[in-house]
């Protein structure tokens, strides 16, 4: 009985000290102008480049401090939820990995950009609307060209994926995991559609 009492007091005082230390470290941390992450996948690459650059010059920052900076830079509820568990222990590297696993997805980013390209509103006839459309289209094309495996096949496949039903797209994503190459070709899509088409063919009942 007597041995358990001091242990509880010790644990309690330790947590108080730890919390006090966290609060004091936050107060001492310099204010750094950090980029903000909206939680949109298309914003990830630009955000991570700017965030990494902002911390790269300060080698004295601990992982615990970096974790606080990263948590404050993330604004969306979804992204904050991803960081919740590793942030509790100030695991900066695990926080970064959790975000990259969710948002650093080159094929999905490429597909999203193609979707944005095809889902443009109609271009008006005024000089302002034409200028805005041209700027937006050229910016989107440049972003697509940065993709490591950018090609006509990649562009067409991303466009085709947009027309897949939810169920068919899930099957296609499963198919992608089994491909030897990380980059699917039009032949891969044709084969996938052919197999799924054949699976839907109802055989004629055998005649007695």
Residue 12 has pLDDT above 80, yes or no: no
The distance in angstroms from the start CA to the end CA of the chain is: 84
Specify whether the CB–CB gap between 110 and 147 falls below 8 A.
yes
Asked if 158 contacts 110 with a C-beta cutoff of 8 angstroms, the reply is: yes
Which residue, chain included where needed, has tokens 């095809």? 118
Q: In whole angstroms, how far apart are CA 71 and each of 44, 85, 88, 130, 197?
A: 14, 12, 11, 40, 47
* Cα–Cα distance for residue pair 58/190, rounded to 1 Å: 51
Specify the pLDDT at position 96. Answer: 92
pTM recorded for the entire structure: 0.57
Is residue 63 within 8 Å of 93, Cβ to Cβ?
yes
Mean pLDDT of 3-18: 36
Alpha-carbon distance of 63 to 56, in angstroms, equals 12
Query: What is the per-residue pLDDT across 136-153, written as a single tens digit (0 to 9) for each?
Result: 777 777 777 777 666 778
Dihedral angle of Cα 22, 25, 29, 33, to the nearest 10 degrees: 0
């Amino acid at each position: 009985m007597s041995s358990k009492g001091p242990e509880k007091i010790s644990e309690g005082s330790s947590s108080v000290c730890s919390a006090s230390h966290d609060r004091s470290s936050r107060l001492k941390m310099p204010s750094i102008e950090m980029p903000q992450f909206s939680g949109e996948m298309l914003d990830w690459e630009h955000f991570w480049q700017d965030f990494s650059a902002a911390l790269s010059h300060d080698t004295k920052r601990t992982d615990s401090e970096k974790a606080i900076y990263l948590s404050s830079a993330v604004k969306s509820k979804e992204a904050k939820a991803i960081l919740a568990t590793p942030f509790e222990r100030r695991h900066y590297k695990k926080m970064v990995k959790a975000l990259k696993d969710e948002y650093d997805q080159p094929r999905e980013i490429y597909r999203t950009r193609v979707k944005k390209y095809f889902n443009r509103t109609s271009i008006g006839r005024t000089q302002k609307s034409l200028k805005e459309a041209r700027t937006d289209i050229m910016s989107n094309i440049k972003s697509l060209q940065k993709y490591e495996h950018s090609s006509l096949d990649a562009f067409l496949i991303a466009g085709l994926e947009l027309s897949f039903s939810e169920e068919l797209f899930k099957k296609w994503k499963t198919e992608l995991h089994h491909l030897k190459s990380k980059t699917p070709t039009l032949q891969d899509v044709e084969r996938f559609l052919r197999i799924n088409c054949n699976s839907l063919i109802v055989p004629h009942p055998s005649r007695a």
